[in-house]
Amino acid sequence: MTEQQGAGPGPADAPASATQIGARVLPAFDDHHPPEQELIEDCVHCGFCLPTCPTYVLWGEEMDSPRGRIYLMEIGRQGEAMNDEMVRHFDQCLGCMACVTACPSGVQYGKLIEATRQQVERRYPRSRRDRAFRALIFRLFPYPRRLRLLRGPLRLYQRSHLGTLARRAGLLDRLPERLSAMERLTPALGRLEPVPEVTPATGTRRRRVGMLTGCVQRVFFPEVNAATARVLAADGCEVVAPAGQGCCGALSLHAGREAEAQAFARAAIDTFDAAEVDQVVVNAAGCGSAMKEYGHLLRDDPAYAERAKAFSERVRDLSELLVELGPVAPRHPLPIKVAWHDACHLAHAQGIRAQPRKALRAIPGLEVREIPEAEICCGSAGIYNLVEPEPAAELGDRKAANVLATGADLLVTSNPGCLLQLRNALERRGERLAMAHVAEVLDAAVRGAQPGSLLDR
């Protein structure tokens, strides 16, 4: 299958009717799905969401809280121009959805910020530098083939310790902050470990599941995909990982690039429908939450609206499916103290908190420890730690301190971005802590591997 070309809307798509005054756009929102008035009115301004909003926690600014951002959407609807300041407050939102969990009035902030971001991307003239950096991200990350081309040079760079030398010489500090963040957040690359197109179930087949291999996950964390397929097979799933699958569109969706996200979503639906699977399993929280939103994303598309809704209902996070099925393969003991980190797109966006804990606690000898302030984002948030590196680093530092306070031997989560963000935050403190994806821990327990296989790497 040919990789799709970036089709994201940009300032060039701003409608002729919009008046730009310097960096002000009037009207703020066009008629194509502006943030909905009814959803805005659900907010009763109680402020219960404020203590869980990471940007409000950092700065104490009303306009950097969920309530403040909803107010900005409201005044945008009432005729206020979209200006630099307004866009900064929207850009600084991590999209972590902690406010959705905290809100007693059921405000659907996810739909509001998604609609707002689409308006910003379509209408607001970002600076040339910002556009160039975003173009780099969106022409690279959603395309596994392009990412794979980078593996060779990156491995060479990492093996030659050029990065360490450049860092010691202070050369990396001279890079623009965003490029420096990109360098720091690049994972250490191991061997490529492709997942077979079909992995047969061990014993009786209970389900035939499709597996999203992801873009970054497939190229930078192949061992997580390999572990995922083994665990699913051990618990009775035939695992189908279609070779032609592309990006699920999560990064594009969460950044407001509507047309691009829709194109990726249509392709994913076609791929997995053709594979005739019962369910589609996802091992990256951000991807899973986006795929569960396909019904909403494609609601205007007569050819896909119904299919997208049905597809979203079949999407499962790995831990969600394993707990739904119940374990078949015996779990061998792993006497390890584990700090479980709730990825925001798993806990807040998908409401999945109990399942990964239950799956881990089923391993004899394994102790799950809770991280203080678990509801506050680690600062990874899709591309947030690349486009907003300073607040992301502050949040990473805060999370790292909370993780260390647990006294755990191993940090476990379900999202590759969180692992990179926390590894980087711990390095800044001069600390090291073993980290693993939940699939790798379950796989080690199923295979009867020694704890050292997780702790000594």
Binding residues for ligand SF4, rule: CB under 6 A, are 43-49, 53-55, 66-67, 69, 93-99, 102-103, 105, 107, 109
Percent helix, strand, coil in the chain, to 5, is 50, 10, 40
**C-beta of 45 vs 174, nearer to ligand SF4:** 45
Question: What are the DSSP calls for 195-257, one per residue?
Answer: PPSEEPPSSS--EEEEE---SHHHHH-HHHHHHHHHHHHHTTEEEE--TT----SHHHHHTT-
CB of 287 to ligand SF4, least distance (A): 18
CB of 52 to ligand SF4, least distance (A): 6
Cβ atoms of 212 and 280 closer than 8 Å: yes
**C-beta of 63 vs 426, nearer to ligand SF4:** 63
**C-beta of 116 vs 252, nearer to ligand SF4:** 116
94 phi and psi, to 5 degrees? -80, -10
Question: What are the DSSP calls for 134-192, one per residue?
Answer: HHHHHHHTT-HHHHHHHHHHHHHHHHTTHHHHHHHTT-GGGS-HHHHHHHHTPPPP---
Torsion of CA 157, 195, 332, 236, to 10 degrees: 160
Two tokens, residue 248: 């699920």
CB of 91 to ligand SF4, least distance (A): 11
CB of 96 to ligand SF4, least distance (A): 4
**C-beta of 55 vs 119, nearer to ligand SF4:** 55
In the chain, the N- to C-terminal Cα span, in Å, equals: 36
Two tokens, residue 293: 């939103």
CB of 421 to ligand SF4, least distance (A): 15
**C-beta of 96 vs 386, nearer to ligand SF4:** 96
**C-beta of 98 vs 247, nearer to ligand SF4:** 98
15 phi and psi, to 5 degrees? -65, 150
Cβ atoms of 369 and 337 closer than 8 Å: yes
**C-beta of 103 vs 284, nearer to ligand SF4:** 103
**C-beta of 49 vs 425, nearer to ligand SF4:** 49
**C-beta of 271 vs 421, nearer to ligand SF4:** 421
CB of 297 to ligand SF4, least distance (A): 18
Two tokens, residue 20: 């730009």
**C-beta of 40 vs 329, nearer to ligand SF4:** 40
CA angle, 297 as apex, 292 and 298 as ends, to 5°? 110
**Distance (Å, rounded) from C-alpha 32 to C-alpha 280?**
31
The DSSP bridge pattern shows strands 207-211 and 198-199 to be unpaired
CB of 212 to ligand SF4, least distance (A): 24
What is the H or E stretch that residue 410 is in?
strand 410-413
What is the H or E stretch that residue 317 is in?
strand 315-317
CB of 352 to ligand SF4, least distance (A): 17
Two tokens, residue 154: 């990156």
CB of 130 to ligand SF4, least distance (A): 19
**C-beta of 15 vs 47, nearer to ligand SF4:** 47
**Distance (Å, rounded) from C-alpha 247 to C-alpha 282?**
12
What angle separates helix 84-91 from helix 66-77, to the nearest 10 degrees? 140
CB of 405 to ligand SF4, least distance (A): 22
CB of 105 to ligand SF4, least distance (A): 4
Would you call 62 helix, strand, or coil by DSSP?
Answer: helix
Two tokens, residue 60: 């104490």
